[in-house]
Amino acid sequence: MNRTVVFVCEHGAFRSRIAAAYFNAEAPAGWRALSAGRDPQAEASARLGPLLAGTAAAEHLESEPPRGLIGVESDYVIAIDCTVDGAERWVITAQSDQPLRDEIAGRIERLKRELAADQ
């Protein structure tokens, strides 16, 4: 049975998608990730493709429009730079795209180790 971690950011168009793509690139056995937004935009950020190009996460980037949280089933929720009831909160300190991407990727590596250790 697959378990789902949902990464949420304000609009579901950038931070949460980076996190889900890095998580899904090498997800722990039995896990997958989705992205969502508290107030979803109509489409994902155009900056994502170039930012993830050449990384393991690139092929795992979600192509659908951002989704909201309603109706998304999850086992674990991480809110990135926003607040969601019951979610773990990540505050990203990097302000520009590449350092932000790298900070999220590092947090994802730690999360995957934690989830794998719990199995």
Overall average pLDDT of the 49-62 stretch: 96
Mean pLDDT value across residues 80-92: 97
Residue 57 has pLDDT above 90, yes or no: yes
Q: CB burial class (10 A; 0-12, 13-18, 19+) of residue 81?
A: middle
Tell me the residue range of the domain where 74 lies: 3-117
Question: What integer best gives the mean pLDDT of the chain?
Answer: 95
CATH number of the domain that residue 45 is part of: 3.40.50.2300
Residue 19, H or E segment: helix 15-25
pLDDT tops 90 at residue 1:
no
- Predicted confidence (pLDDT) per residue in 6-43, tens digit: 999 999 999 999 999 999 999 999 999 999 999 999 99
Mapped onto helix, strand or coil, the DSSP state of residue 82 is coil
Backbone angles phi, psi at 53, to 5 degrees: -55, 135
Stated pTM of the model: 0.96
Q: How many domains does the chain have?
A: 1
